[in-house]
Amino acid sequence: MPWKARSGKEYSLCLLDTNAISEILKNPNNEGKGFIEKFPPLSFVPCFTIYNVIELRRITKLYEKFLDFFSIYPIFIVKPQSMILDQEIVNYGKNSKVSILLNAFSKKGDNPSYNIIIFFDKLFNNTQIKKIESSWRYEEHETLNNWLSMKENFSVSSSYPNLEDAEEYMNEAGLQTLINLKPDWCGSIIKNGSIPNIDNFPSLKISLYSLYYRLYNPSWIAKPGEVTDIQIISAVPYVDNFITEKFQANIITKIKNRVKYLDLLSVKRLKDIRS
């Protein structure tokens, strides 16, 4: 969904996964140059999540390159998955736009609120954020183990992921997941004689589809970082472009007509941004 500046000019939002960011930073004369050429700052705004930043901060030199490379023109950090879900609830039943933007940064960043270096220094010195960052590896492992423990709860019709099974998985897991995450809100909707429409929660649907295509793919390697990848893609329905690796790109291509707004999304693989 394009973002409109105060001047009235519209910019396309471009979300990057951590792997794409890493390649841009490690190869400035190839992926780095190609990214700037294909997503020029006069037309596009790069977007990141807090999960990207937590991952990048695990490698000090890479994080320093991130701050240096992406401080030269405007960028956005988007809301985490839980906040996007909250926004979808606020907008439920309304014909209004879900805002996923958490903070904007500018090369004219003398104001601490808009200077990426100052902002993240302050953010990661916050006691609550420091606690989240320090426990994130543990959370990744715990969430992954929880996924794997629930794998047998769904009966597949094929040894390889397919759209028919994906739809059945969504039918079984979609509403139940929403109820588990937001029991009070769902309870109020059900009490009034309605059933929450999972189609109004694109951030949740894309996450669950992505989980299905991982769990039931025999060649998928279960790594804790996959948890972060799924957290990141919750914002994908609300951006115009997403740069990611082949595996994730293939999943999104399969579900483009199953999740609201994905039909408007342009998915780019790493090879597409090489100079």
**pLDDT tens profile 125-144:** 888 788 888 999 999 999 99
Residues of the chain with pLDDT > 70, as a percent, come to: 97
pLDDT tens digits for range 155-182: 999 989 999 999 999 999 999 999 999 9
- pLDDT for 33 equals 92
- pLDDT for 218 equals 93
- pLDDT for 111 equals 67
Task: Examine the pLDDT at 95 and tell me if it is beyond 80.
Answer: no
Mean of pLDDT values over 237-263: 95
Helices (H), 110-201: 116-123, 127-150, 163-181, 183-191
Task: Examine the pLDDT at 73 and tell me if it is beyond 80.
Answer: no
